[in-house]
Amino acid sequence: MATSEVERRRGQLAALSIAAVVIMVGVPLWWRTTETYRAWLPVSQINELANMQLQLSADVEVVFARGTVTPEQQKKVPLTQTQDEEHTVDENTALRYRYEIRYRTATIMEEDALDQPTAAEADLSLHTLSESPCGSLVVYVIPESSSLLPEDMDVYIGQRRTALLRIGAQMRVGRTVEQLLAHLEPRIKQVLQVMSFSHTDITAALSDRVRLSPGNKESIADSMRAFKSSPGYEITFSLLNPDPKSHRLHWDIEGAVQTYIQPLLTKLAPVANFSLDSQTLYYAMLGVNPRFDSSSSAYTLNSDSLAHVINPVEARLGSNAASSNPVLNFLLYVPDAHHSPLYIHDNKKQEVPSNAFHSPRWGGIMVYNVNGFYRPEAVLPVDININMAKVMGVFLAQLRLLLGVQSSTAPPGFLMAPCGSTGLADWELDRLMWSRSVENVATATTTITSLAQLLDQIGNIVINDNIAEQVSSAVTSLQLAVAELEAGNLGFALQYSKEAIMASERAFFDPSLLHLLYFPDDQKFAIYIPLFLPMCVPILLSLLKIVSEARQKRREKQAKKD
Amino acid sequence: MKILTFFSLFSTFLSANSINVEENAGQFFSSGHTNNWAVLVCTSRFWFNYRHVANTLSVYRSVKRLGIPDSHIVLMLADDMACNHRNPKPATVFSHKNMELNVYGDDVEVDYRGYEVTVENFLRVLTGRLPPSTPRSKRLLSDDRSNILIYLTGHGGNGFLKFQDSEEISNVELADAFEQMWQKRRYNELLFIIDTCQGASMYERFYSPNLMALASSQVGEDSLSHQPDLAIGVHLMDRYTFYLLEFLEDIHPASKANMKDLFKVCPKSQCVSTPGHRTDLFLRDPGSALITDFFGSVRKVEITMETINLTDLIKEAEQNPMNEKPQKVTYSYVDQLPVSEIIHQKPKQKDWHPPDGFILGLWTLILLVFFKTYGIKHLKHIF
């Protein structure tokens, strides 16, 4: 009897110790060895970023030339004003525009510069005096009597970051500084809308984050035309020669690119990297048959058929297999001898002066007629040198449109200087940098927040260290970019926003984040049950037996006591 | 009185006409997309699934004819039909009986073939999570203004689609993949067509905006194949895709047919199964969505109004006679393997090696058996 008691005791002890080992040692060990490695992500900071409050700051200097302020007013100037404009785009996004306006009077050298005969020369000499930093503007207020601007124009926008504003006739004697500033404020606001950033541009740049209801046709067309922000672009120039038997074409593409296109791309270097290549395609026809127009004795392509020109040609254009950057194609088509000259007509049946058209987010095509360069009885094939200045003028204009340098129509009374030899005015570059920074920040925040959401939802995706690193660096860059935008340092803001977007894209598109590679919960149960259930059943049963025996004993003891 | 009514009729006619012109101009930008992509997947392999490959290739042909270039098409096929041993006409895949139309031809660009057509690769293509070494032709490089056509065909069931007879993709995974595409704005509008048994179950779980889905049969119904060809010995096409293709043959790049016509393709009388469609997630009215918005690639064009006046002359590349000629680096091939010597060599004399373990073990075994049988006293005869 004693031995069976000892045996029972021993059995109970064995069951208890096995259960103890399983629970204390086994379960934690199993848990640790089967948990997925999830590196730490800054989730709280990501959620903070989801609620985006952007502040854009622009510095404006308003310089009063001689004759625009009275001596009493002059004493109160120089002064600084800060203006804020708040806009709420949707429940997660709010914008604030801050303008820091400094008023001062012109120096002697600036007065001399403003004495030039034309506005363009004044602009040039003003630029030699001082260079405004990126993102800032200088507005020179010139008197009513000044001859720099023509009669009906009030504002001249130069090639750099300066504008000339003609003060109205009412501003003469007896007005206080406050009234003067109040008079100037709407005009300066207008100049800022054109040269710096406007609310429509910024909200268009936020289109990734906020799906806005479509406005008028122009805004839809603008948002569809330009390429989205990307760290690099590839530009391909192609010469299409469908008739090599008649025309032997020579184009100095290397020299033309070096002289005309490269300055623009160098200026745009802070925005993106560009890679250029060129090719010549022979026997490449347009997919459309042009119609012969007897009134002008030329072949015409009307605007409806232009849409079908691109597809047959695109199949023959190559692209760089190694990179995934967007490609801009610029095609120069020289019509064959039987279909020359070829003109493009718009939908009003008028000839288009540039003889070119472009397709949003794709590129441009220009038709170059060469029938004027040789006599009909010349010996074929004829050597023809293409006038690259004319061709590149058209391509450069198309490139500006496709990259998002909006040449929106100027408000009435504004006179714009033609863009310089680089093809891009400094203030246009600033505009592009503002909208690109905002677009990058918006895209990067949506990418990071949706990545965090995805990783949260699917609990068993492994988050490697490199992904966590990328996410952290993206969050840091985003915070820095927003801070720099607030401070008004446009160059740094764009750089940080580009780093943020590259890091966030690399983290989001990491190949290891495919949820298919990880087991859903029901499959996990199917694996563990045949392993653990047979082992756990005896332990559980013996524990239950121990508990029921203990309870029985306690009942017996109770009964004995009673 | 009569003049008044006549006048009012005339004026309404005029205003209706002008609205028409406005609408045409408005339609130009009503679709909101600038480029088109197509992802065509055939999820079956083996000879008896010939019709699935023919389905996919026929849709591929139509999509190419209507303008989408190969660089914008991701084609996934097991590609084991044209050169299959059982194919009586090698290098061809026919889609119509009497071998009228060879859809294989010589300009078919298959991006994922054979064992590369897996659920993992399909989801990687859709979500963009491809390894960096993937070439451009295997990627779906769409942006927020791309309209994508996705066509799947194969064997399916209630809520899943079988890939290559070894794995399956569920409707939940597909819906999640589309949601990830939407999060990253990888599409403007997406048209999803599926031709399998119980195809409608695959689009039940979609929840992202701007999706339109068509399926060849409802849950509980089977999609049937169209016609066998007695010479080839298998069914050549499925019914839904056959009538879909008949419908697409009438579409040309400038056609104005819209999605409502597509929903009418293959009624129950022709298809035996009931085709279904889902448009509640699509933000536009399906009647305003053109067929060519998804199947073709009609580009929007704008006339270039401005040019820039460039006056600089091209600088000639400077010829500098002072410089010496740049050293020409001569390249040479590495020594090639001397194949001819190797072939004609006499075999080398091999050195003698003592017998290896196997022979030793065999002899030991024989000796042991011998001595066991006949007794150890015979040992002295050996040693």
Cα distances (Å, whole numbers) of residue B190 to A383, B23, B180, B187, B211: 49, 24, 13, 7, 5
- Best of A225, A311, A347, A358 to substitute, by most chain B Cβ atoms within 10 angstroms, is A311
Q: Please name the residue of chain A whose CA is at the shortest distance from the CA of residue B145.
A: A224
Chain A residues with beta carbon closer than 8 angstroms to that of B174: none
Between CA A455 and CA A515 the distance in angstroms is: 9
- pLDDT for position B13: 47
Nearest CA among A459, A457, A471 for reference residue A509:
A471
Between CA B289 and CA B292 the distance in angstroms is: 8
Q: pLDDT confidence of B19, banded at 50, 70, 90?
A: very low
Q: Please, are residues A316 and A284 in contact by the beta-carbon 8 Å criterion?
A: yes
- pLDDT for position B27: 43
Angle at A84 between CA A82 and CA A86, to 5 degrees: 175
ipTM above 0.85, yes or no: no
Q: Please, are residues B270 and B242 in contact by the beta-carbon 8 Å criterion?
A: no
Q: Please, are residues B310 and B84 in contact by the beta-carbon 8 Å criterion?
A: no
Nearest CA among B125, B290, B257, B207 for reference residue A509:
B125
What are the tokens at A450? Answer: 């949706």
- B299 and A396 within 8 Å at the Cβ level: the answer is no
For chain A, 562 residues long, give each residue's pLDDT as a single digit of tens: 568 889 888 888 888 898 899 889 988 998 888 787 888 888 899 888 888 888 888 888 888 888 777 777 777 777 888 888 888 888 888 888 888 888 888 888 888 888 888 888 888 888 888 778 888 888 888 887 777 777 778 888 888 888 888 877 655 544 677 777 777 888 888 888 888 888 888 888 887 777 665 555 666 667 778 888 888 999 999 999 998 998 899 999 999 999 889 989 999 999 999 999 999 999 988 878 888 888 888 898 888 888 888 888 888 887 776 778 889 999 999 998 888 889 998 888 888 888 999 998 899 999 999 888 888 888 888 889 999 989 999 999 999 889 888 666 677 778 887 777 777 888 889 889 998 999 999 999 999 999 998 888 877 778 889 999 999 999 999 999 999 988 888 899 999 999 999 999 999 999 888 766 656 677 778 888 888 888 888 888 888 988 998 999 999 999 988 7
Mean per-residue pLDDT, B143-158? 92
Between CA B218 and CA B199 the distance in angstroms is: 6
Chain B residues with beta carbon closer than 8 angstroms to that of A258: 314-315
Between CA A423 and CA A540 the distance in angstroms is: 82
What are the tokens at A25? Answer: 């040692």
- A397 and B71 within 8 Å at the Cβ level: the answer is no
- Check if B118 contacts A (Cβ < 8 Å): no
- pLDDT for position B26: 41
- Best of B308, B309, B312, B313 to substitute, by most chain A Cβ atoms within 10 angstroms, is B308
DSSP sequence for A303-364: HHHHTTTHHHHHTT----SS----EEEEEEE---GGG-SEEEE-TTSPBPTT-EEEETTTEE
Q: Write out the H or E segment, with its range, that includes residue A525.
A: helix A521-561
**Coil, strand or helix: which one is A150?**
coil
pLDDT tens digits, one per residue of B107-133: 899 999 989 999 999 999 999 999 988
What are the tokens at B262? Answer: 């597509």
Between CA A143 and CA A122 the distance in angstroms is: 14
Most confident option among A317-331, B141-155, B320-334: B141-155
- Check if B185 contacts A (Cβ < 8 Å): yes
Mean per-residue pLDDT, B167-177? 89
Cα distances (Å, whole numbers) of residue B136 to A216, B57, B142: 36, 21, 12
- pLDDT for position B181: 92
Alpha-carbon gap: B178 to the closest alpha carbon of chain A (Å): 13
Alpha-carbon gap: A137 to the closest alpha carbon of chain B (Å): 25
SS3 assignment for A197-258 = CCHHHHHHHHHHCCCCCCCCHHHHHHHHHCCCCCCEEEEEEEEEECCCCCEEEECCHHHHHH
- pLDDT for position B25: 38
- B128 and A509 within 8 Å at the Cβ level: the answer is yes
Cα distances (Å, whole numbers) of residue A207 to A201, A337, A479, A486: 10, 47, 20, 21
- pLDDT for position B21: 39
Q: How far apart are the first and last CA of chain B?
A: 143
pLDDT tens digits, one per residue of B230-259: 888 889 889 999 999 989 988 988 888 999
Q: What is the CA radius of gyration of chain A?
A: 36
Q: Please, are residues B74 and B37 in contact by the beta-carbon 8 Å criterion?
A: yes
Cα distances (Å, whole numbers) of residue B259 to A128, B292, B383: 62, 9, 99
- B136 and A394 within 8 Å at the Cβ level: the answer is no
Which residues of B are marked as active site? 155, 197
Between CA B237 and CA B226 the distance in angstroms is: 6
Write the burial class of residue A28 (CB in 10 Å: 0-12 exposed, 13-18 middle, 19+ buried). Answer: exposed
In total, chain A counts a number of residues equal to 562
Between CA A340 and CA A336 the distance in angstroms is: 6
Contacts of residue A137, defined as CB under 8 A and 6 or more positions apart, other chains included, come to A58, A59, A60, A61, A161, A162, A163, A191, A192, A195, A196, A427
Q: What is the CA radius of gyration of chain B?
A: 34
Chain pair A-B, CB pairs under 8 angstroms: 172
Between CA A478 and CA A505 the distance in angstroms is: 13
- Check if B252 contacts A (Cβ < 8 Å): no
pLDDT tops 70 at residue B24: no
Nearest CA among A222, A223, A354, A227 for reference residue B303:
A354
Q: Greater confidence, A416 or B11?
A: A416
Per the DSSP assignment, residues forming a β-bridge with A237 are A278, A330
The DSSP bridge pattern shows strands A298-302 and A356-359 to be unpaired
Alpha-carbon gap: A508 to the closest alpha carbon of chain B (Å): 8
What are the tokens at A247? Answer: 């025309």
What are the tokens at B235? Answer: 């069914």
Q: Please, are residues B259 and B211 in contact by the beta-carbon 8 Å criterion?
A: no
- pLDDT for position B372: 84
Between CA A381 and CA B334 the distance in angstroms is: 45
Percent of chain B topping pLDDT 70: 87
**Coil, strand or helix: which one is A22?**
helix
Q: Which residue has the tokens 């007065």?
A: A111
Contacts of residue A90, defined as CB under 8 A and 6 or more positions apart, other chains included, come to A210
- pLDDT for position A144: 78
**Coil, strand or helix: which one is B303?**
strand
One-letter amino acid identity for A329? N
Cis peptide leading into residue A381 (ω within 30°): yes
pLDDT tops 70 at residue B18: no
- Check if A394 contacts B (Cβ < 8 Å): yes
